[in-house]
Structure 1
Amino acid sequence: MEAVQTQLRNVLELLTFSQTERVREWDRLTVQRAFQWAEYCEQLHSRFQSNPAVRAALEAGLSDTNRRLRDTLPAHSPVAFSDLAQCQHALLVHLLRNPYAPSSLMQVLFPDPKIPQEFRFDLSSLITCRSAFDLLCRARDRTARPGLRVEAEVRGKLLNAALTRAGTDERARSVLDSVLRDSAGEMERLYDIIAAALLSGDDESNAVTARVILAWLQHRDGALSDLCRALCPGLCALLSRRSPEFNRAYRGVLKQWASCLEYDVLESVWVPTSEGPVTFNALTDRFRDLINAGAALKEDTERELRALTLADGDFDEQGISVWTDLTTRLNTGRFNV
């Protein structure tokens, strides 16, 4: 029992240090071992939570250690026996919130595929746990994020942190490649994670994330179009409002989709060609969401629609220019197409 008490004291100190400048001294192996010790505490909780005698002894030891750490380290937050059940979660949150956290943390969370499997840390149990969401996704901005699941919100925040800390574009691309491999066969899940990453962080980190992600998508044939199609119009509009980079890329995708519409003279409707991913109505709805996403976005979108209409000849007749008809539909709802 004395050995267990000593190990518990060490883990409590580790949790406290993970919130201080001292964490900058941790290398990849230290981060790996820290999570292993946190997992050990979770095992202690599982093993002894129903053993009154052992639990009482452990709680007494925790109380003594909390008191000592509180006197010497102001950053220390008391840890109860019940907290041991989520020790890895607490460590993860401390590190992600600590500005001094080393890049080695991201090497553990998003490992290089060349690293042997035994040196990798599996986050799957953390990500799917509700408590991880409560801790990581308690953002000040309460703006609704339509269409995103809890898991995507959490993974997106982790991805944003990883890309921001990657240091170079090459390392950032390797992170995205790793996420792509992990999401093989579940592309909608990957798109949700990317969307959540683009919505995470402050303006500076968001700009870095958007630049890296958009470059990565544009180097994969059709990937950006697939992403925009998979995300609901409201979410794409929210992303456009948050990121000028995404807004430009998204409008480019919308223009490409419009080029795949042709006018059916017999039916008096715009229909997709064999390569067309969306209908005229779906395209109109996406532009409408952009116009309704705020004054600045409305002005930019209407300016571009006007330019596209003029470039197409600025005809008044229906069926000649998709941009004329789309603008008319947005303004008046006149055409039933």
Structure 2
Amino acid sequence: MKILFDSMSPADTKQSEYQDVSGLCSRIIQCKSACKVLSPLTDVSAVGADAEVQGAMLMEELAALLSQSSEACQAEHFLDSVLQGCDGAAHHFCLVIAAALLTTTNSAAQTASQDFLLDWLQRKPSELQHMCSTLPATLVIDLSKRHLKFRDAYCVVLKNWASDMEYSISDGEWVQTSTNQTSVSFQRLTEHFLALLEACPSLREGVVKELNVLKISDGDFDVRGLSVWGDLLSIINK
């Protein structure tokens, strides 16, 4: 796992260091080496060549684990272990996850692997929030257009960010109050909402309706700074 997901590890790691899984590690080393050589010759991707290779291999491993009906728990344990092993490289891990979810599926097994990965991600709210806040907006939107599950989870993340904000009179802006959440400014929050609604126009009516309900629950004021939902609506309706 360390060789597969650690982007800083050398591509020429000696096979003798991992005799117990030498075949797998040899293949991983070959893929990483080829990736490093060929990446300057390829078109620039949204996630990067390394993440594309690692994402494809992640999908292969999940498909192998899920091919047996009794291995779902092992697949989850595998993902949990990878997540734990990527401590300190969270952004790169997010890119790998995105690459895996954007991989073109050609079989039922690959589709099942992506569904499993989406379900696992929904059970990891902190990782999902980190993905949504740190990945390029265009990449998050691509994931939302590709996967309904991701889009729904993304909407929940945006509403959670908004609900955690309070108006700072001294700053003249909405700011997040919880230190446990990924820090997102109100401007960034509105950019996320606008990008999502532009990419998925069918969402607009439902989102506006829901924000209206939340605004009414805050007192239905149209004065800036009294309701984060009202201020969001004001920007969206423009």
| Structure 1 counterpart of 2:83, one-letter code | L
Structure number with greater Rg is: 1
Deviation at 1:224, TM superposition (A): 1.8
- Aligned residues of 2:197 and 2:204 also touching (Cα < 8 A): yes
Counterpart of 1:4 in structure 2 is none
Report 1:28-67 matches (<5 A): none
Query: Does residue 189 in structure 1 map to residue 100 in structure 2?
Result: no
| Counterpart secondary structure, 1:271 | strand
| Structure 2 counterpart of 1:155, one-letter code | Q
Query: Does residue 259 in structure 1 map to residue 163 in structure 2?
Result: yes
Counterpart of 2:192 in structure 1 is 286
Deviation at 1:182, TM superposition (A): 4.7
Counterpart of 1:303 in structure 2 is 206
- Aligned residues of 2:35 and 2:53 also touching (Cα < 8 A): no
Counterpart of 2:222 in structure 1 is 316
- TM-score, normalising length from structure 2? 0.74
CA separation of 1:157 and 1:184: change in aligned 2, threshold 3 A: same
- Any stretches of 5+ residues in structure 2 without a counterpart? 1-17
Tell me the C-alpha RMSD between the 2 structures. 3.0
| Structure 2 counterpart of 1:126, one-letter code | C
Q: What are the superposed Cα offsets for residues 218-239 of structure 1, whole Å, 9 maximum, x if unpaired?
A: 4446222122222122111110
CA separation of 1:121 and 1:206: change in aligned 2, threshold 3 A: closer
Query: Does residue 159 in structure 1 map to residue 58 in structure 2?
Result: yes
Q: How many percent of aligned residue pairs carry the same amino acid?
A: 31
- Aligned residues of 1:132 and 1:154 also touching (Cα < 8 A): no
Query: Does residue 236 in structure 1 map to residue 140 in structure 2?
Result: yes
| Structure 2 counterpart of 1:317, one-letter code | V
Report 1:73-92 matches (<5 A): none
| Counterpart secondary structure, 2:76 | helix
| Structure 2 counterpart of 1:157, one-letter code | A
Selected match of 2:130 from 207, 226, 241: 226
- Any stretches of 5+ residues in structure 1 without a counterpart? 1-112, 333-337
Deviation at 1:181, TM superposition (A): 4.8
Q: Distance in 1 between matches of 2:171 and 2:59?
A: 47
Deviation at 1:262, TM superposition (A): 0.6
Selected match of 1:214 from 118, 121, 125: 118
| Structure 1 counterpart of 2:92, one-letter code | R
CA separation of 1:166 and 1:117: change in aligned 2, threshold 3 A: closer
Aligned residues: 208
- Aligned residues of 1:153 and 1:196 also touching (Cα < 8 A): yes
Q: Distance in 2 between matches of 1:125 and 1:119?
A: 11
Q: Distance in 2 between matches of 1:267 and 1:310?
A: 27
Q: Distance in 2 between matches of 1:175 and 1:132?
A: 29
CA separation of 1:302 and 1:163: change in aligned 2, threshold 3 A: farther
- TM-score, normalising length from structure 1? 0.54
Query: Does residue 124 in structure 1 map to residue 29 in structure 2?
Result: yes
